[in-house]
Amino acid sequence: MRYLPQTPEDRQAMLASIGANHVDELFIDVPKEVQLDGPIRDLPMHAGEMAVEAHMKALAKRNHAAGDMPFFLGAGAYRHHVPASVDHIIQRGEFLTAYTPYQPEIAQGTLQTLFEFQTQVARLFGVDVANASMYDGSTACWEAIVMARRITKRGKAVLSSGLHPHYVSVCNTMARFTKDKLVYEAPSFAAAGDGDTLLDQIDDDTSCVVVQYPDILGRISDISALAEKAHAHKALLIAVVTEPVALGALKSPGEMDADIVVGEGQSLGVGLQFGGPFVGLFGCKQKYVRQMPGRLCGETVDAEGKRGFVLTLSTREQHIRREKATSNICTNSGLCALAFTAHMTLLGEKGLRELAMLNHKKAVQVADRLGSIKGVSLMNDSFFNEFTLVLDHDARPIVRRLADQRILAGVSLGRLYPEDEALAYGLLVAVTETSTEEEVEILAAALESELS
């Protein structure tokens, strides 16, 4: 078998040197009654590469790949063009098959890229420090709320209605167990967002306010007023960024005085991958660094005085602190962080700002084009590369029918908020640099047809 290098002769020689006749003797501590007498039934036996490829290719073929048809989905996962070099970089065996850098002398490759990643994320977010990644944006969001609880010693978090409903769902699940109180209601088609409501909800029991920027309906709001009021009540402002490319065009949450900024880095380097693996981004102000979850890479020197990098502030973490750790996270999303940082490096500031403008201006064109269709109205006054259309029919069946015609029209709000009748007419449309005019016209024609 191609992944098992031992020959029968090797095995015999090794058994002999151990003083055993058969490998079964090495399983002597395992009670006989639970040892299986042969390979597990109902599972296939081994297969060569060709057969395995055929099986997997058949599965892959049964999916509509985004690049093969008009595609306009977003809602927390975005289709961007990843430059060809990125995938080659992350497939270098020294990155792909490396371990967590616990032995820094032979892991400077991983450690230096993590340091660069941390710096890029901190700068993008406008905060002082960032960690070496979390699993994804939704778990990073919950960890931020937990961190706010540790810092403020309060248990009530106010969640904006603009927070991704999956993220809200994750927080609700965890809060049931930790007894944190979450204040939240689903959004409505109000172009202004819920900033005023949130301001009213901040009081002396609040640990944090959590806002998404841009939010789930694509709205962009100035969060400085929220920061100010939160701080007046000694609460924290947590900003959630599900589309980091937006920060190439928009003011950063840190500039608006957010205390913790978390997000999903998938847009850069990582690709759609049906939802995972993704990469959670986590940054905060300097004064909170010792309360951060996750790995941190820091600069130091070696015994010859040369600069090097190591994992640091490990007393926060599970392998040192065990039940007193800030989080239980161990394996995070290292290779995706590498993809993110490599993509950012290829873009550079200039490239990121151009990419952001390209996304936004294309989205403006598409929004106006689609908003002009009879039966469609554009909800947003402002947006980055994703906006909400309000249709005069239930959007969800339309999206399904268009998918059958090989048009991936966007995410219906009915899919995200199945209980909410009012939102059923909403359609989230994302436009990136990968969308073409031709595809837009195909979508427009299809919507016209559906709504006539």
Q: Under rule CB under 8 A, which residues in 42-71 are in contact with other proteins?
A: 42-49, 51-53, 55-68, 71
Task: Tell me the C-alpha distance between 404 and 400, whole Å.
Answer: 6
Sheet containing 411-412, strands listed edge to edge, beginning at the edge strand earlier in sequence: 376-378, 386-391, 426-430, 411-412
Q: Is 371 in the site for other proteins (CB under 8 A)?
A: no
Name the minimum Å distance from CB 203 to other proteins.
Answer: 25
Residues 6+ apart with CB under 8 A from 78: 243, 245, 266, 267, 385, 430, 432
Q: Is 327 in the site for other proteins (CB under 8 A)?
A: yes
Taking CB under 8 A as the criterion, the residue among 8, 70, 137, 198 binding other proteins is 137
What type of residue sits at position 206? T
Q: Is 2 in the site for other proteins (CB under 8 A)?
A: yes
Q: Residue 264: enclosing H or E segment and its boundaries?
A: strand 260-264
- Phi, psi of 55, deg, nearest 5: -60, -50
Rank residues 91 and 449 by Cβ distance to other proteins and give the closer one: 91
Per CB under 8 A, contacts with other proteins among 237-296 are: 247-252, 255, 264, 271-279, 289, 295-296
Q: Are 391 and 398 in contact (CB under 8 A)?
A: yes
Name the minimum Å distance from CB 135 to other proteins.
Answer: 4
Chain centre distance of CA 356: 18
Q: Is 190 in the site for other proteins (CB under 8 A)?
A: no
Rank residues 233 and 384 by Cβ distance to other proteins and give the closer one: 384
Q: Is 335 in the site for other proteins (CB under 8 A)?
A: yes
Q: Are 95 and 89 in contact (CB under 8 A)?
A: yes
Q: Is 23 in the site for other proteins (CB under 8 A)?
A: yes
Per CB under 8 A, contacts with other proteins among 140-169 are: 164, 166-167, 169
Per CB under 8 A, contacts with other proteins among 373-402 are: 380-384, 399-400
* Total site size for other proteins, rule CB under 8 A: 216
Sheet containing 280-284, strands listed edge to edge, beginning at the edge strand earlier in sequence: 129-130, 280-284, 260-264, 236-241, 206-212, 156-159, 181-183
Q: What is the largest CA-CA distance in the chain?
A: 83
Contact mark string toward other proteins, 85..124, x via CB under 8 A: x-xxxxxxxxxxxxxxxxxxxxxxxx-xxxxx-xxx-xxx
Task: Tell me the C-alpha distance between 166 and 161, whole Å.
Answer: 12
Rank residues 357 and 445 by Cβ distance to other proteins and give the closer one: 357
Q: Is 76 in the site for other proteins (CB under 8 A)?
A: yes
